[in-house]
Amino acid sequence: MDVGVEALKRDPLNAVLTVVEEYEVAEGPLNGLPVAIKDNIVTAGIRTTAASKILENYVPPYDATVITRLKEAGARIVAKTNLDEFAMGSTGENSAFGPTKNPHDPSLVPGGSSSGSAAVVGAGMVPVALGSDTGGSIRLPAAFCNVWGFKPTYGRVSRYGLIAFASSLDVIGPIAGDPDILARVMEVISGPDPADATTLDSPPFSYERSREFSARGRYRVGFVKEHLEIVSDEIREKFLALIDRIGQRGNGVVEVSLRSGKFALPAYYVIATAEASSNLARYDGVRYGVRVDGKDLTDTYVRTRSLFGKEVKRRILVGTFVLSHGYYEAYYLKALKARRLIKEEIASWFKEVDVVLTPTNPTLPPKLGAGFSPVEYYRLDTLTVPFSLAGVPALNVPLGDFVGVQVVAPYEEDERAVGFGMYVSEIL
C-alpha cells in the first residue's frame, strides 16, 4: 500500500485537504500505522477546517483526545480528509473545497459526511481513518466505498476536540479496510475521558472480546422487516443472500420489527438541526474563525455567517425555527418523545437476539451532481438514523458493489457488533 506523502498529494479524488509531511512517531501498539483524520477533528498545529470557509485558516492549539491517544499508541497522522461542511451531508458534495469522488467510480458520490476518510481507505491510500457519525456519516460512506465503518455506542469514544454538529448524536469512529485494524484502533481511541463529561464509565473497547465473540459459532440474528420494504432490488437481493448464508451455518434467524422507525428521519432532522443551530452560533466573527468586518456589529455577523454553505445555512434556519417560541413543543419535544420510543423498541430486540442486521444504504450511490432535492438526499440516512437516535453501536460490513449491511448490537456492546462483523467477513 502506497501511503507516502506523494501518494496523498496526488489524490485524484479530492479526498485530502491537508497532507501532514512532518511527524514524530512514538513507540506503541499501533507501530507506525498511517491514519487519516476527518477534518472536523482538531489537530494541534495542523489546519482544521471542517470543510468550511469560515474555518479555512484555523490552526488549533491542541489535539482532540482521540488524536492524543493515537499518537501515544504509535500511530502516524498522515492527512486531514475532506467532508461535507460541518459534517452536514450524506454525499460528500457539500464541502467548501469541492466534492469528494468515489474511489471505485469517480462519477459517483462517496457518501457523507465522512467522504474523504472513506475514500482514502477505499482507494488504498491509508489502511484506516477516523470519521464522525451523527446520523450515518461513517456507515453510509463506508458502504458506498466498500469498506468497514463503525459507529460506537454514544459516549464510548471521547468527543473532546470534535467540532460539534449535534452534540447528543455526534460520535467518532474508525473506517478501515478490514475489521482487525478497525478493532485495534477502537481499542486505542475508546474509554473514559475527564475532558468529556458524556463519555461512559466503561473500559476501553477490547479487541480480544470482539475476537472471542466472532469465534462463538452460534448466534441468534434478527433482521428488520420494515427496512427490506424500502431498499432497492439490488440491495435486498444481496442482503437476503447474506441472511441465507448465515442461516445455513446453523444460526437462528428471525424477523424483528421497528414500528417506530417511521418517526426516525423526521425526529432526527428536528433534533440534529436544533442542536446545530445552537452549536454554530459561536461562528460569529468575534470569537474565532474568519471575521468579515461590516459597518456595525450586526453587519459583521451577517457578512461573516454568509460564508456558511447552503446546506449549513438551511440546517441552521430549520433548527432555529423548531426551537422558536410556539414551535418548540410542536416539533422539538415531539421529536424527543419519538427518540425515546425508537430507543426502547430497539432495546427490546435484544431480549430475543444477539445482533440485528439491516442494510446500510437504501439505494446505490447517486451520480455526483445529480441535483436531488434536500429531502431526497436526507432519505439516504433512513436506515442509519434509528441507531444514532438510540445511541447503540452499528458496524457497516461491506458486501461489495457499493452495498453495506449494518450489524447492530445492544448499548455498550460494541465488541459484539464488531465481533459478529468479523464472523460475517469469514463467511462472505
Rounded average pLDDT per 10-residue block, the chain, 428 residues: 72 97 89 96 98 95 98 97 98 98 98 98 97 98 98 98 98 98 98 98 97 95 97 98 97 98 97 97 85 92 94 97 91 96 98 98 97 93 98 98 98 98 96
Q: Which of 182, 153, 191, 171 is nearest to 68 (CA)?
A: 191
How many CB atoms are located within 10 Å of the residue 222 CB? Answer: 21
Q: Which of 388, 375, 317, 401 is nearest to 133 (CA)?
A: 388
Angle between helices 414-427 and 207-214 (to 10 degrees): 50
Which CA distances in Å does 177 have to 46, 81, 125, 142, 328?
Answer: 25, 16, 10, 10, 43
Residue 137 is a catalytic residue:
yes
Predicted confidence at residue 1, as pLDDT, reads 45
Cβ atoms of residues 358 and 406 within 8 Å: yes
Q: Residue with C-alpha cell 475476537?
A: 211
Q: Are strands 34-38 and 76-81 parallel, antiparallel or unpaired?
A: parallel
Taking the C-alpha atoms of residue 330 and residue 363, their distance in angstroms, rounded to an integer, is 32
Taking the C-alpha atoms of residue 151 and residue 182, their distance in angstroms, rounded to an integer, is 11
| Catalytic-labelled residue, pool 95, 113, 117, 388 | 113
Angle between helices 334-349 and 264-279 (to 10 degrees): 120
Cβ atoms of residues 210 and 419 within 8 Å: yes
Q: Which of 414, 372, 368 is nearest to 395 (CA)?
A: 414
Taking the C-alpha atoms of residue 68 and residue 337, their distance in angstroms, rounded to an integer, is 37
Taking the C-alpha atoms of residue 60 and residue 43, their distance in angstroms, rounded to an integer, is 6
Cβ atoms of residues 114 and 132 within 8 Å: yes
Which CA distances in Å does 185 have to 28, 40, 71, 129, 189?
Answer: 12, 18, 11, 9, 6
Residue 113 is a catalytic residue:
yes
Cβ atoms of residues 288 and 48 within 8 Å: no
Specify the amino acid at residue 262.
K
Domain locations in the chain?
263-336
Predicted confidence at residue 4, as pLDDT, reads 67
Taking the C-alpha atoms of residue 133 and residue 148, their distance in angstroms, rounded to an integer, is 13
| Catalytic-labelled residue, pool 114, 115, 132, 137 | 137
Which CA distances in Å does 71 have to 30, 126, 127?
Answer: 9, 16, 16
Predicted confidence at residue 290, as pLDDT, reads 87
